[in-house]
Amino acid sequence: MISITDAAVTALKDVLKEQNKEDHLLRVFIAGIGCGGPSYGLALEKEAADVDKTVEVGAVKIVYDGELEKTVENLVIDYIDNEMGTGFIVEDPTAEHCGGGCSGCH
Pairing of strands 75-82, 85-91: antiparallel
- 44 — pLDDT class (breaks 50, 70, 90): very high
The pTM (predicted TM-score) of the whole model is: 0.81
For 17-29, write each residue's pLDDT tens digit: 999 999 999 999 9
3-state DSSP assignment of residue 66: coil
For 51-106, write each residue's pLDDT tens digit: 898 988 878 899 998 778 776 678 899 999 999 899 999 988 776 656 555 554 54
Q: Which of 3, 24, 2 is nearest to 13 (CA)?
A: 24
Mean pLDDT, range 2-18, rounded to an integer: 93
What is the structure's pLDDT at 98?
60
Question: Judging by beta carbons within 10 Å of its beta carbon (0-12, 13-18, 19+), is residue 52 exposed, middle or buried?
Answer: middle
